[in-house]
Amino acid sequence: MANPAIEPTPLAGGVPYRLAGCRLTVDLEALATNWRALAGKCRPAETAAVVKADGYGLGLEPVARKLLAAGCATFFVATPSEGVALRGLAPDARIFVLVPMLGDGAETDIAAHGLVPCLNSTSEIAVWESFCGSHGSPLPCAIHVDTGMNRLGLTPAEARAFAEENALTQAIEPVLLMSHLACADEPAHPLNRRQCEAFGLAAAEFKGIETSLANSAGIFLGQDYRFGLVRPGIALYGGQPVTGHPNPMRPVATAEARIVQIRYARAGETVSYGATVTLRRDTIIAACAAGYADGYHRAASGAGVPLRSGDGAGASGFVAGRTVPVLGRVTMDVTLFDVTDCGEGAVGRGDWIELFGPNIPLDEAARAAGTISYELLTSLGARYHRRYVEAA
Ligand SMILES: *Cc1c(COP(=O)(O)O)cnc(C)c1O
C-alpha cells in the first residue's frame, strides 16, 4: 500500500512540493526506534551513531536532532567540516572525526570546536602531539588501529609503540581505541575472528580507555565484537545489516517519483535510449520524473546496461498495489515503468510511484542497481522534495 504517512504538503525542505518530480520521506520515529533497538541490544556497551555524509544522505540536521532526543550522546562523522556542522546542532555531544585530515591546519578547527580526531597514522599522531604541545595541554583523540582492512589506521606494532611512548610522555590524551571490520556483513568470513582477536590484543596495550570495533553488521556478530562502544550507521537508516539475513530494522526512507505521463505502446515497439527493450505485448507505460540525476542509478535500467552483472531484471517500482518493472534505460530525469498489470486506468498522471520504501526494500532497490543501500542513500539527489515525519 502507499505509505499513509505521505500526504502532499505545499512546502517543505526547500523544494516546493508541486514543483518537485520526486520526494523523499524520512520517518524520524523509525530512526529513533532503530537507534533504541540497537542501544538495548548492545547494553552495557554504549551505542553511538554514525552520521557522516549528511546522515547517510537523509539530512544531518533532522537526523542528529532526533538521535540526540532519543538519547544518543556520541557521534561519528567523516570530515572536520561535518564535525563543525554537527557541533552547531549538538553543543554537548562527543563528536569523533574519522578522517581528520591533520597537518593542513584542520587541527586548529578541530580543537576549537571540541571535536575528537581519530588518528589514523603515526604522522597524524605527530601532528596532534605537536599541536597539543603548542596548545599547552594534551587534547583528547582516538587511536585507529588497523586489524586487517588496510584502509586507515596504525599497524598493531605502531599502536603498541605509541602506547608505550605516550604512557611516558602523556603528550596527547587517547580516549578511544578503535578499529574497523572489513567483512562484518559476511558472518562466516574468517577475517572477522582474526580482526576481533587482533583488536583484543591491541586493547590490552591501552588500558583504561574506551574501545570500539563494531559497525552495524559487527553488532550482529555477537557480544564479543561489541567492546565498549558500537558505531552503527546503515542500520539506523533502515539498511539490512547482515547480507542474506532478514532485516530487523525499520525502514526509514521512502523515495517516490511523480508520474508525469501515461502512454500506450504497441507490441514490437521499443522503449527509451538505445531501444534496448522490444515490447512483447501492448504496454501501458508510466513515465516518472526521477532518473539518474536523482540518484536512481542508470545501472537499475530494465535493459541495456552492461555494468550490472548478476540480477538481470533491473529495478522495480511500486504503484497501485503492485510491483512494476523499469522498462529500458533509466534516463537523467525520467524513468519508465511497465504498469500494464495494474490494469487500464489504475495508474494516472500525478500519482506517485515508490522507488524504495515500505514496499520495495532499500536493499532490493540497491541490489537491482548493482550496488548497496549505502550508495543508494548517499547518492539521493538535490531535486528531492524532502519531508520529515514523526509517524509512529
Ligand atoms: C561508516 C563507518 C561506520 C558505520 O558503518 P555501517 O556499516 O554503516 O554501520 C563505522 N565505523 C567506521 C570507521 C566507518 O567508516
Instruction: Read off the pLDDT of residues 29-76 as tens digits, 9 standing for 90 and up.
Output: 999 999 999 999 999 999 999 999 999 999 999 999 999 999 999 999
Is 211 a residue whose pLDDT tops 80? Answer: yes
pLDDT at 9: 46
Q: How far is the CA of 233 from the centre of ligand 1 (A)?
A: 6
306-313 contact pairs (CB < 8 A, 24+): 307/370, 308/369, 308/370, 309/370, 310/370, 311/367, 311/368, 311/370, 313/368
| Cα gap 199→162, rounded to integer Å | 15
- Give the position, in ligand 1's atom list, of the atom nearest the Cα of 215: 9
> Residues 305, 381: one domain?
yes
326-346 pLDDT tens trace: 999 999 999 999 999 999 999
Same domain, 91 and 209: yes
Nearest ligand 1 atom to the CA of 232 is 9
Whether residue 185 is found in the same domain as residue 113: yes
In this predicted model, what pLDDT tens digit does every residue of 89-137 receive, in sequence order?
Answer: 999 999 999 999 998 889 999 999 999 999 999 999 999 999 999 999 9
Would you call 237 a catalytic residue per the annotation? no
- The domain in which residue 296 lies consists of 253-389
What was the pLDDT predicted at 307?
Answer: 60
Please tell me the number of Cα atoms within 13 Å of 319 on its side-chain side: 33
Whether residue 181 is contained in a domain is answered as yes
- End residue of a domain, out of 187, 213, 237: 237
Note the pLDDT of residue 244: 86
Looking at the fold, whether 178 and 276 belong to one and the same domain comes out as no
Pair (263, 372) in one structural domain:
yes
Domain shared by 37 and 170, yes or no:
yes
All cell numbers assigned to 227: 567492546
Residue 17's pLDDT is 81
Domain assignment of residue 247, yes or no: no
Q: Structural domain tally of the chain?
A: 2
Residue 65 lies in a domain: yes
Q: Between β-strands 229-230 and 46-47, what pairing exists: parallel, antiparallel or unpaired?
A: parallel
Pocket of ligand 1, candidates 98, 143, 199, 236: which has the most ligand atoms within 8 Å of its Cβ, to mutate?
Answer: 98
Q: Which is the catalytic residue, given 17, 41, 273, 374?
A: 273
Alpha-carbon torsion, ordered 220, 223, 229, 232, to 10 deg: 0
